[in-house]
Amino acid sequence: MSDLPPDLPRLRTLETWLSMSLDRVRQQIAVAEKQAAVEAARREPPPPPPWLIEHSIGVGRTPVRVHVGGCWDARSRCRPADRDMARRALVEGVEACTHCRPDTALGVLD
């Protein structure tokens, strides 16, 4: 047994009311999404990690360069690293970025 009215005019009225309600809900969702976007834009971005290790393209994804966090030359293939990981990579022969000089900052010089 259905809780909906049996006749067409009342069903059409109900359909119209539901459609209008759905439109109002969608409008309110759009307002809420805009507010959330404005709030997200106001928040400061998180600080960069202290060190970055850049990895190669390809299957092995081996480390190719070490950067200081926030280096302008760091690419999207970088992963965050802590101080010990960055020092170890430099000691193992991974190249230091020539722009941000992590080897100098870490005290690991050739």
| Domain boundary assignment for the chain | 1-43, 51-106
> Model confidence over 2-42: pLDDT tens digits?
899 999 999 999 999 999 999 999 999 999 999 999 998 89
DSSP states of 16-77:
HHHHHHHHHHHHHHHHHHHHHHHHHHHSPPPPPPSEEEEE-SSSS--EEEEEETT-TT--TT
The model carries a pTM of 0.60
Q: For position 67, what pLDDT does the model report?
A: 96
